[in-house]
Each structure stands twice: as structure tokens, then as C-alpha cells.
Amino acid sequence: MAMIKVQKGTKDILPNEMPIWHFMEKKAEEVFTAYGAKEIRTPIFEATELFARGVGDTTDIVNKEMYTFEKSDRSLTLRPENTAGVVRSFIENGMHRLSAPVKLWYKGPMFRYERPQAGRQRQFHQVGVEVFGIKQATADAEVILMAVDYLKALGLNDLTVELNSLGCPKCREEFKQRLKDVIRPYLPQLCEDCQTRFEKNPLRLLDCKSPECQEIYSKPEIQAVIQGDFICEECSSHFEELKSYLDVLGIKYERNKLLVRGLDYYNRTVFEIKSNNLGSQNAVCGGGRYDSLVKNLGGEDTPAIGFAMGMERLASLLGEKQEERLTAYIVSNNTLEAVKLTQELRQKGISCEFDLTNKKFVKQLEKASKVSKYAVILGEDEISKGEVTVKNLDTSEQTTVKREELKLS
């Protein structure tokens, strides 16, 4: 029979790769908990409407990339991102009644049907943070700092923070109209996606990766609109306040007026953090403010901001981590006593194994040297005297102790 293989765009995370994943997850818990964030776990599928209303029906995610299926006359979708699901949970579980800010973090698999590429799969994993209830730029600064601190905790220091402000709905509408006015003469030359975005969400035009479209958008009259300051006084003040906090915190940043992010729910602050070690696909973190999303999904009017990071992309930057060795390996040809001692040590919280097939003594010692810190030798002499011989496999030092006095670290 033909072998069944893993599906395109998915990948097994093998045991030798798990140390780096455990490291990323452990650091996420440490850093985000230090900021007062609580972990949340939402279902991997939700009502399709949640993403259509939350992410936006003009986005590539909703139009092209979602895994949607029908079940009992309901349309369900595997989550393509987790902000909408966290917002749904925030509303449904009455978290708006908690004292602001409400800080939540998550990790887990997401699903998008798109062309697999370096660091990006159809089933991929994200770690992210969402902060609810604070409209001031202090929340924006803290969220960006949290992301930077997490990346630094992973050992990534060659980072660039890119910032932009999309303004509020009022000033953004004026900008959209000015943008459409200067792009309209070139509309027939734009790609099919941009022609659709032109009417539904012209800001997304700036996010297009087509070289032909980018050449058009680089024309002087279009750049004059893009690079102009369109945001209103209140949004401008919010953005300047954010930059002042980042300056105080020592976070280096650059203004990128082409940065719009790919989702409809963003307003005011948007940001990306890029690693200078990843080549062209160098964004490791993306986020921004989404003050209208909670209300749009049926909750009370609640300001919010968050970010997400692709864990596969982070793993590609971090390389391999050594697998954790066992503390002890029981070396004995008396299987009954080996089973008994192994269980005694495990009940004390000591990781250990013994040879299940009762190989020769020398073979067991060879295995111990590969997988553990100590070989705990249990020969007939040791058994008769109630002792064990402990060999430090790093230094080759041996000591013999009473079995009940055995301590390992």
C-alpha cells in the first residue's frame, strides 16, 4: 500500500525539535506573566461569521485563505488568526467587567490556505498578546515593549521596530479618498486584487507585493499623498505620545508610512518588528490597535491593542537547542530491581530510565553515556548490600552510597 504522507503546508514537529519549542513557550510564559498577562486558550474553530466581521471580508485571509466547512447547517472555520477569537471570549465571558487593563496571552495553531514558504505553513503556530481597556498611548508602548522583551529573551537582538499611525475612522476616510483620487488614473494597470481593494479598502493597496503595483505607487504624485500627514490632531498627539514613551524606554523605531498591516480592524498605531537575519521575509512580529473591534463583535465599546508572532519563523532564527538529558540511567542485569529503583527515583521527581531489553552491562553503560548525566549501577554486590554505585558521566567520578541515601541533581 502507498504510504500516507504529511499534507502540503503542514509539518511534524519532531522530538529533536521540541527543545526549541519548549524554550519559546517557557519564555512567553515568563515574560508575559511578568507584565501581568494571563494565558487564554480558545477553540481552534469558530463561527465563520466571527472572522468575516472581525478580520474583514475584504482581506485575503477571509476571501482566499480560510479553511471553512459546513456542519449541521452551520458554517465553521479553522482559526486563521486568534485576535477575533480572544475578543469573542472577552465579550462572551464578561471580561469587560474586570479592572482595566485586561491583559491576555495565547499560543497555538492557526490555519491559512496559502503558498507554503520559508517560516510559513498552512498550519502554523502563533504566540500573541491582547490588551483591553486602555485608550492611552501607554498601552501601545507597553505592548511594543512586551514584544521586544520577549524577542530579546529568546536571544534575538538585531531587531528593527517599524511604526505607523492609520488614524481614526474620520481622518482615515479623508486619506482614503485622496489616495483613490491619485491612483484612479492607473486603475486599469493594477493587479486584480488591487482593483478589488480600490473600492472596498484602498489602504490595502499599499500592502500589495506585486512589483508592477509597487512601481505605480512609487510615482511622485501618489507618494506625495502617502507621505503626507493626513491624521487629525488627536491621532497625531496619540502617535507623538507613543514615540515619546518609546524614546524613554530606549526602543529604536522607524516611521514607515507604507505600513498598514493586512487586517481591516486596525486603527491608529500599527507596528512590525523585523529581524535583520531573515532576508526579505523578515517580519517576526506584527500588531496594532483595534479600538472598534470589541464593539463590532457585539461587546461594549472597548479600546484594545495586541500583537502576534509566528513561532515557525522564530524557530528558524533560533536554530537547534540541545535535548535535555535524563538525570539517571539505571544500569543493571537484575530487571526486577531495576524496575523498582527506577520507580523509586521517578517518585522523587528524578528523570530516569532503565534498559527494557536487559542488554549486556557494557551496552547499558554506553546508552547511559548518551542519554543521562549519571549511571546508577545496580549489580549483585550493590543489591546484596543495599547500595548503588553512581557514576558521573561528565567527570567519570564514581561513588557508592546506601540506596535510601541516593541523591542526584
What is the per-residue pLDDT across 269-295, written as a single tens digit (0 to 9) for each? Answer: 999 998 876 655 588 999 999 998 999
| Torsion sign, CA atoms 27, 138, 88, 80 | negative
For the segment 60-74, the average pLDDT, to the nearest whole number, is 79
Query: How, if at all, do strands 67-71 and 74-78 pair?
Result: antiparallel
Band (pLDDT 50/70/90 cuts) for residue 46 is: very high
Band (pLDDT 50/70/90 cuts) for residue 43 is: very high
What pLDDT sits at residue 213?
82
Please choose, from the candidates 264, 290, 261, 291, the residue with its C-alpha nearest in 3D space to the C-alpha of residue 273. Answer: 261
Beta bridge partners of 289: 267, 305
What pLDDT sits at residue 86?
97
Cα–Cα distance, 24 to 153 (Å, whole number): 9
What pLDDT sits at residue 201?
76
Which carries the bigger pLDDT value, residue 167 or residue 230? 167
- pLDDT of residue 260 exceeding 80: no
**Residue limits of CATH 3.30.930.10 in the chain:** 15-168+231-318
What pLDDT sits at residue 281?
59
**Residue limits of CATH 3.40.50.800 in the chain:** 326-405
Side by side, which strands form the sheet with 74-78?
45-47, 74-78, 67-71
Q: Are 140 and 269 in contact (CB under 8 A)?
A: yes
Architecture of domain 15-168+231-318: 2-Layer Sandwich (3.30)
Q: Which three cell numbers stand for residue 88?
A: 469573542
What pLDDT sits at residue 227?
74
Helices (DSSP H) in 132-250: which residue ranges? 137-153, 169-183, 192-200, 211-217, 220-226, 233-249
Cα–Cα distance, 168 to 130 (Å, whole number): 20
What pLDDT sits at residue 99?
94
- pLDDT of residue 310 exceeding 80: yes
Give the homologous superfamily in CATH for domain 326-405: Anticodon-binding domain (3.40.50.800)
What pLDDT sits at residue 321?
79
What pLDDT sits at residue 193?
79
pLDDT more than 90, % of the chain = 57
For the segment 42-60, the average pLDDT, to the nearest whole number, is 81
Q: Which pTM does this prediction carry?
A: 0.86
What pLDDT sits at residue 55?
74
Side chain identity, residue 326: L
Write down the residue that cell numbers 488627536 correspond to: 234
91 vs 37, 263, 294, CA distance in Å?
17, 20, 7
Cα–Cα distance, 195 to 217 (Å, whole number): 13
Least confident of 6-10, 119-123, 355-359: 119-123
Band (pLDDT 50/70/90 cuts) for residue 257 is: confident
Q: Average pLDDT of the chain?
A: 88
Sequence-distant (6+) residues with CB within 8 A of 264 are: 55, 56, 58, 59, 201
For the segment 341-367, the average pLDDT, to the nearest whole number, is 92
